[in-house]
Amino acid sequence: MRNLIIGLLALPLLTGCASRVPIEIRTPPVPAISPAEVQKQPDAYRGHAVRWGGDILTVETREKETEIEFLAKALDSSGKPEDGDVSLGRFLARVEGFLDPAVYTQGRSATVRGVVEAVTERNIGERAYVYPVVRAHTLYLWPRKVYYGYPRYYPYHYPYGYYRYGLHFGLGHRFGHHGGLHFGYGHRF
Protein backbone atom coordinates (compact mmCIF):
# COMPACT_ATOMS: atom_id res chain seq x y z
CA MET A 1 0.00 0.00 0.00
CA ARG A 2 2.83 2.38 0.87
CA ASN A 3 4.51 1.79 -2.52
CA LEU A 4 1.23 2.48 -4.29
CA ILE A 5 0.84 5.83 -2.54
CA ILE A 6 4.45 6.80 -3.31
CA GLY A 7 3.94 5.78 -6.93
CA LEU A 8 0.78 7.84 -7.27
CA LEU A 9 2.48 10.87 -5.73
CA ALA A 10 5.48 10.51 -8.06
CA LEU A 11 3.37 10.07 -11.21
CA PRO A 12 2.73 13.80 -11.81
CA LEU A 13 6.45 14.50 -11.46
CA LEU A 14 7.38 11.86 -14.01
CA THR A 15 4.72 12.82 -16.54
CA GLY A 16 5.69 16.48 -16.23
CA CYS A 17 9.08 15.64 -17.70
CA ALA A 18 7.66 13.86 -20.75
CA SER A 19 7.84 15.70 -24.06
CA ARG A 20 5.14 15.63 -26.68
CA VAL A 21 7.76 16.16 -29.38
CA PRO A 22 8.64 12.79 -30.99
CA ILE A 23 12.10 11.44 -30.21
CA GLU A 24 12.86 11.33 -33.97
CA ILE A 25 12.43 15.10 -34.08
CA ARG A 26 14.39 15.81 -30.89
CA THR A 27 17.48 13.80 -31.88
CA PRO A 28 19.54 14.80 -34.92
CA PRO A 29 20.93 12.14 -37.24
CA VAL A 30 24.68 11.69 -37.45
CA PRO A 31 26.18 13.16 -39.57
CA ALA A 32 24.07 16.31 -39.81
CA ILE A 33 23.55 17.18 -43.47
CA SER A 34 22.36 20.59 -44.65
CA PRO A 35 20.11 21.31 -47.64
CA ALA A 36 23.01 23.18 -49.29
CA GLU A 37 25.22 20.07 -49.14
CA VAL A 38 22.51 17.99 -50.82
CA GLN A 39 22.09 20.66 -53.52
CA LYS A 40 25.79 20.46 -54.36
CA GLN A 41 26.14 16.64 -54.27
CA PRO A 42 22.70 15.03 -54.53
CA ASP A 43 23.94 11.55 -55.47
CA ALA A 44 26.34 11.40 -52.53
CA TYR A 45 23.53 12.00 -50.00
CA ARG A 46 20.67 10.05 -51.55
CA GLY A 47 19.21 7.70 -48.93
CA HIS A 48 20.87 9.53 -45.99
CA ALA A 49 18.78 10.43 -42.94
CA VAL A 50 18.13 14.12 -42.35
CA ARG A 51 16.27 16.26 -39.84
CA TRP A 52 15.32 19.59 -41.36
CA GLY A 53 12.78 22.18 -40.43
CA GLY A 54 11.60 25.66 -41.13
CA ASP A 55 8.63 27.71 -42.19
CA ILE A 56 5.99 26.27 -44.51
CA LEU A 57 5.77 28.13 -47.81
CA THR A 58 3.32 26.03 -49.85
CA VAL A 59 1.35 22.80 -49.48
CA GLU A 60 0.31 20.74 -52.48
CA THR A 61 -1.95 17.73 -52.00
CA ARG A 62 -1.75 14.84 -54.42
CA GLU A 63 -3.60 11.57 -54.75
CA LYS A 64 -1.43 9.56 -52.33
CA GLU A 65 0.87 12.12 -50.75
CA THR A 66 1.26 15.74 -49.71
CA GLU A 67 4.22 17.86 -50.76
CA ILE A 68 5.32 20.74 -48.52
CA GLU A 69 7.77 23.44 -49.57
CA PHE A 70 9.87 24.74 -46.67
CA LEU A 71 12.09 27.72 -46.07
CA ALA A 72 14.82 25.91 -44.14
CA LYS A 73 15.92 27.31 -40.77
CA ALA A 74 18.50 26.28 -38.20
CA LEU A 75 17.07 23.99 -35.51
CA ASP A 76 17.49 24.35 -31.77
CA SER A 77 18.38 21.45 -29.46
CA SER A 78 14.79 20.16 -29.43
CA GLY A 79 14.47 20.29 -33.22
CA LYS A 80 12.38 23.45 -33.36
CA PRO A 81 13.15 25.92 -36.16
CA GLU A 82 14.71 29.10 -34.85
CA ASP A 83 13.01 32.44 -35.37
CA GLY A 84 14.63 35.04 -37.55
CA ASP A 85 15.38 35.87 -41.15
CA VAL A 86 18.37 33.55 -41.62
CA SER A 87 17.53 30.95 -44.25
CA LEU A 88 19.41 27.73 -45.01
CA GLY A 89 17.71 27.47 -48.40
CA ARG A 90 14.56 25.64 -49.43
CA PHE A 91 13.55 22.01 -49.56
CA LEU A 92 10.54 19.84 -50.35
CA ALA A 93 9.12 17.23 -48.02
CA ARG A 94 6.87 14.48 -49.34
CA VAL A 95 4.56 13.00 -46.73
CA GLU A 96 2.46 9.90 -47.34
CA GLY A 97 -1.27 10.58 -47.07
CA PHE A 98 -3.35 13.72 -46.88
CA LEU A 99 -2.36 16.76 -44.84
CA ASP A 100 -4.95 19.50 -44.74
CA PRO A 101 -3.61 22.76 -46.22
CA ALA A 102 -5.94 24.64 -43.85
CA VAL A 103 -3.88 23.28 -40.92
CA TYR A 104 -0.45 23.25 -42.57
CA THR A 105 -0.64 26.89 -43.58
CA GLN A 106 1.98 29.28 -44.87
CA GLY A 107 4.19 30.60 -42.08
CA ARG A 108 3.69 27.69 -39.65
CA SER A 109 6.85 26.01 -38.40
CA ALA A 110 7.43 22.27 -38.78
CA THR A 111 10.28 19.79 -38.54
CA VAL A 112 10.74 16.77 -40.79
CA ARG A 113 12.73 13.58 -40.25
CA GLY A 114 13.27 11.38 -43.28
CA VAL A 115 15.68 10.38 -46.03
CA VAL A 116 16.98 12.33 -49.00
CA GLU A 117 15.07 11.05 -52.00
CA ALA A 118 16.19 13.23 -54.89
CA VAL A 119 16.57 16.79 -56.08
CA THR A 120 14.23 18.60 -58.41
CA GLU A 121 14.55 21.89 -60.23
CA ARG A 122 11.76 24.47 -60.09
CA ASN A 123 11.53 28.20 -60.56
CA ILE A 124 11.29 30.83 -57.85
CA GLY A 125 9.99 33.71 -59.90
CA GLU A 126 12.15 33.57 -63.02
CA ARG A 127 15.16 31.95 -61.37
CA ALA A 128 15.78 28.19 -61.43
CA TYR A 129 16.28 26.64 -58.01
CA VAL A 130 17.39 23.11 -57.07
CA TYR A 131 15.21 21.69 -54.28
CA PRO A 132 16.40 18.76 -52.18
CA VAL A 133 13.47 16.34 -51.73
CA VAL A 134 12.97 14.48 -48.45
CA ARG A 135 10.73 11.43 -48.03
CA ALA A 136 9.33 12.26 -44.60
CA HIS A 137 8.93 9.49 -42.02
CA THR A 138 8.09 11.88 -39.16
CA LEU A 139 6.59 15.35 -39.40
CA TYR A 140 5.98 17.57 -36.39
CA LEU A 141 3.92 20.75 -36.69
CA TRP A 142 4.97 23.14 -33.95
CA PRO A 143 2.23 24.95 -31.98
CA ARG A 144 1.30 28.38 -33.26
CA LYS A 145 3.22 31.31 -31.86
CA VAL A 146 1.00 33.44 -29.66
CA TYR A 147 1.73 37.14 -29.55
CA TYR A 148 0.11 39.28 -26.92
CA GLY A 149 -0.57 42.94 -27.57
CA TYR A 150 0.86 43.86 -24.20
CA PRO A 151 4.06 43.03 -22.33
CA ARG A 152 4.13 40.70 -19.38
CA TYR A 153 3.42 42.84 -16.39
CA TYR A 154 3.31 42.75 -12.65
CA PRO A 155 -0.31 41.86 -11.85
CA TYR A 156 -0.45 43.82 -8.60
CA HIS A 157 -0.61 47.59 -8.36
CA TYR A 158 2.77 48.97 -7.48
CA PRO A 159 2.72 52.36 -5.73
CA TYR A 160 5.39 53.84 -8.02
CA GLY A 161 4.09 52.73 -11.40
CA TYR A 162 5.01 49.90 -13.73
CA TYR A 163 8.52 48.47 -13.50
CA ARG A 164 9.55 45.89 -16.07
CA TYR A 165 12.85 44.79 -14.52
CA GLY A 166 13.91 43.90 -11.05
CA LEU A 167 12.48 42.20 -8.03
CA HIS A 168 9.49 43.88 -6.46
CA PHE A 169 7.72 43.05 -3.23
CA GLY A 170 4.51 44.50 -1.93
CA LEU A 171 2.62 43.96 1.27
CA GLY A 172 -1.10 44.56 1.40
CA HIS A 173 -4.14 43.76 3.40
CA ARG A 174 -7.80 43.29 2.71
CA PHE A 175 -10.89 42.46 4.65
CA GLY A 176 -12.32 39.11 3.60
CA HIS A 177 -15.87 37.96 3.49
CA HIS A 178 -15.57 36.72 7.05
CA GLY A 179 -14.33 40.01 8.45
CA GLY A 180 -10.76 38.77 8.98
CA LEU A 181 -7.62 40.69 8.18
CA HIS A 182 -5.50 39.01 5.47
CA PHE A 183 -1.90 39.76 4.57
CA GLY A 184 -0.05 38.71 1.47
CA TYR A 185 2.83 39.63 -0.74
CA GLY A 186 3.52 39.67 -4.43
CA HIS A 187 6.80 39.46 -6.24
CA ARG A 188 7.94 39.76 -9.86
CA PHE A 189 11.14 38.69 -11.54
| Span 127-168, pLDDT tens digits | 999 999 999 999 999 998 777 666 655 555 555 555 555 554
Distances in Å between the Cα of 173 and the Cα atoms of 17, 26, 32, 105, 177 are 38, 48, 58, 50, 13
Neighbouring-strand partners of residue 94: 67, 135
In this prediction the pTM is: 0.69
Nearest CA to 82 out of 71, 92, 91 is that of 71
Domain 20-141 has CATH 2.40.50.140: yes
- Domain borders along the chain are 20-141, 154-189
**Across 81-94, average pLDDT:** 94
Nearest CA to 122 out of 91, 151, 101 is that of 91
